[in-house]
Amino acid sequence: MPPSDGHPGDASGPVRGEAPDGPSASPAGTVAVGEPDFPVPPADIVAAARTAPDHWLSVTDRHWQGESDDDPAPPWAVLGRWRSDSRGRIVLWEPNPDYRPSPAARAWAPPVSDADAALQLAATGYGPEADVAEALAEAATVAVCVAADGEPAWTRIPGGAHAVPVFPESPRAPADRLPAHVMMTLPELLGRLPPGRDVMFLSSSAPAALLVRADELRARWEETTGGPAPGTPARTAGGPSTEPGTPSK
């Protein structure tokens, strides 16, 4: 399957075909050659069709990467597929309605940091959300939105809870277009989060955001540094703690 940036004409790389599936009747949802919406097939697809007549040739988004080159792409990472006829000519294009466009396919700007890159991938379904918290824990500083008094600014999120908006510093963003903010290390930020308050991480390069739980950030910080994160409840030395009136075991 050739990878792509979001348009079937952007394909490149090795091609994997699918076995013929019977008579060449046009399936529903396909666009035939000569029709107004038929996209121009890329050169590597045309070349592959010549060696694989009467086959389907799938196009995979560039951002998807398997454990190996032989791993099949999940359905949501496939833009669609081309059909070759019995003479090895491209005659049909079938878009995939379940395709999820990657950051590149959405024409998002390059990320400005590792955390920003992790957010772009998580927002489009190409990476796990846990990678965002891990990247934030490894980042030196983050821009924290503040109110007029210099304290963290809070925004209400669905469900009624509150979170402080933060974003990665971007050298491309004009200073006069950024919200009021101060740069903080993650320990400084965590130390100023009241109980029950979390972090809303905003991308500086794309229209994407992700709610990151404060407890998850503390856990990732402790894994990264080996020490307790600010705001973590202190543990007393000795045996396990018990509630008043509860006998120890």
Exposure of 207 in the CB half-sphere (CA atoms within 13 A): 2
Cβ proximity of 6 and 105 under 8 Å = yes
72 and 150 share one domain? no
Q: CA quadruple 152, 135, 107, 110: dihedral positive or negative?
A: positive
Inside any domain, residue 249: no
Q: For residue 66, tell me if it sits in a domain.
A: yes
Residue 108 falls inside a structural domain:
no
Give the CA distances from residue 102 to residues 53, 79, 121, 209, in Å, rounded to whole numbers and listed in that order.
30, 10, 7, 15
Tell me if 182 sits within 8 A of 221, measured CB to CB: no
User: Is the same domain home to 9 and 36?
Assistant: yes
Q: How many domains does the chain have?
A: 2
86 and 126 in a single domain? The answer is no
Contact partners, residue 7, CB within 8 Å, separation at least 6: 39, 79, 105
The size of the chain, in residues, is: 249
Is there a single domain that holds both residue 69 and residue 130?
A: no
- Tens-level pLDDT at each residue, the chain (249 residues): 555 555 665 533 334 556 555 444 566 689 999 999 899 999 999 999 999 999 999 999 988 887 777 788 899 999 999 999 999 999 999 999 999 999 999 999 999 999 999 999 999 999 999 999 999 999 989 999 999 998 999 999 888 889 999 999 887 777 778 899 999 999 999 999 999 899 999 999 999 999 999 999 999 989 888 777 776 554 433 444 334 344 433
Residue 245 inside a domain? The answer is no
* Residue 211 and residue 131 share a domain: yes
Are both 221 and 118 inside the same structural domain? yes
* Total-model pTM: 0.77
Contact 116, 142 (CB under 8 A): no
Q: What is the DSSP letter of 152?
A: B
Where in the sequence is the domain holding 11, given as residue range(s)? 3-95
Report the alpha-carbon distance of residue 10 to residue 86 in Å, rounded. Answer: 25
The 3 state secondary structure assigned to 157-175 is CCCCCEEEEEECCCCCCCH
Query: Residue 201 and residue 123: Cα distance in Å, rounded?
Result: 11
Domain containing residue 185: CATH number: 3.40.1350
Q: How far apart are CA 204 and CA 208, in angstroms?
A: 9
Q: Of 19, 114, 101, 87, which Cα lies nearest the Cα of 58?
A: 19
Q: Do the domain assignments include residue 105?
A: no
User: Within this chain, do residues 118 and 221 fall inside the same structural domain, yes or no?
Assistant: yes
CA distance 182 to 169: 10
How far CA 46 is from CA of 88, 91, 97, 244, in Å, comes to: 8, 10, 23, 76
Quick one: which of 181, 187, 182, 184 has its CA closest to 217? Answer: 187
Flag whether 191 is in a domain.
yes
Q: Are 208 and 120 in contact (CB under 8 A)?
A: yes
